[in-house]
Amino acid sequence: MGSSVQPLTPQPRWDRINSAEVIASARRIYFHFLECSPTHPDPLGVVIAQAPGGQGRVVFELPVLLPEEQFIPLELVRGRSGRSRSSRSPLRG
């Protein structure tokens, strides 16, 4: 109907944020969650506040965002599975 319909998955406003910092903060929050709650189901993503310090939380449902918040989907937090990575041996001397 009207243009006020929200997309199913809120997308980050890449034009308003430093994507490297936001994704790094989201990863820090997500990995902290995994350390504290290893048996919980996977969240949908991480909500990050744009305030300094990158405070945020993992979410299990699509969030209703405040104006200063960004939703980072779990796919971006974990990284793309199709991306090739250099193979570095831990035994390199």
Q: What are phi and psi of 57, to 5 degrees?
A: -155, 155
70 close to 22: Cβ distance less than 8 angstroms: yes
pLDDT at 69 over 50: yes
pLDDT at 87 over 60: no
**pLDDT tens-digit map of 44-68:** 999 988 776 668 999 999 988 888 8
**pLDDT tens-digit map of 5-41:** 555 556 666 666 667 888 888 999 999 999 998 788 8
DSSP codes of every residue in 14-80: TTTS-HHHHHHHHHHHHHHHHHH-TTSPPPSEEEEESSTT--EEEESSPPPPPTTEEEEEHHHHH--
